[in-house]
A and B are shown apart, each in its own frame.
Chain A
Amino acid sequence: MAHVAGISIKDSVISAVTEAFDTMVSLPIRERDKGETGSFIGPERLVGTVGFAGQLQGLLCLHFSPPFAQEITATMLGMEVADVEEFEDINDAIGELTNIIAGDLKTRFSRPGFPCSLSIPSITRGTRVEIESVSGAERYCFFLSAGNNPLLVELYIRSTST
């Protein structure tokens, strides 16, 4: 697909991630060389996910290392990193950041006529987390840096419009 009604998926994702990270945690985003999704972040990771439903269906997944997720949470809550101990706080911060980016993408894609709804954010933690594509969905993978931290963004998307 690469484009949604003429809008570049890559440009949309990079712009949405850049704006959200700049506004919420003051971190610059840059693209990195492609790597293996399994080794880019490390085996242990935290994944924020928001689903799209409607004429555009799919999933947005943001992969973080646990220390980076903790750092983001500290920045968003105005706390010291060492004081962020609760999983609940980290889940909430990463969920909100993922939700903001998904909302931006939804707005960008809705404009060319792909109305869709968003699920509430969910968080997955674990080692060797792999996201499988839903049937018929195309997978887009973006290897980014947020400051000095690796950030993997996956977008699974399919259109039901004819």
Chain B
Amino acid sequence: MPKILLVDDSKTTRAIIAKALRAYDCEILEAPNGADALTLAAESLPDFILLDVTMPVMDGIETLRRLKATESAVKDIPVMMLTANSSPEEIALITELGARDYMTKAYKADTVVDRVKAILPLVQKS
């Protein structure tokens, strides 16, 4: 069962995406900020990370930087960034830091699932 770590300070966004992903045979882990996400990623080694950019405590850019700087298997986990701000500078930075993909808010949850499936095979529950 694929394990997906969903990191967003918005409970609403986490609920929307988690609900869509649960239609597939995967386990959802949730974190409200980057600091909690780093701990959860190290403990649980998820197969995929969905990471919001703008968050309190530790934002998504710094979280991505730290994920990719680890010496453990965590650095190889594919990360897709979620952002309400798709400036060319931010997208360039996200790409340079090693994110596999990004999505600009607003988006439908099904679109997020489709983009995850392009990187991580998911099987829909029957």
Contacts and interface: CB of A to CB of B under 8 A. Distances in A.
Interface of A: 19-20, 23-24, 73, 76-78, 88-89, 92-93, 95-96, 99-100, 102-104, 106-107, 110, 115, 118, 120
Interface of B: 10-13, 15-16, 19, 54, 56, 83-87, 89, 104-108
B11 to A, nearest CB: 5
Given A110-B87, A120-B54, A100 B105 contact: yes
A95 B10 contact: yes
Nearest to B111: A23
Contacts of B104: 103, 107
Instruction: Tell me the dominant secondary structure on chain B's binding face.
Output: loop
21 contacts: A19-B106, A23-B108, A24-B106, A73-B12, A76-B12, A76-B15, A78-B15, A78-B19, A88-B11, A92-B10, A93-B12, A99-B84, A99-B105, A103-B84, A103-B104, A104-B84, A107-B86, A107-B87, A110-B87, A115-B89, A118-B85
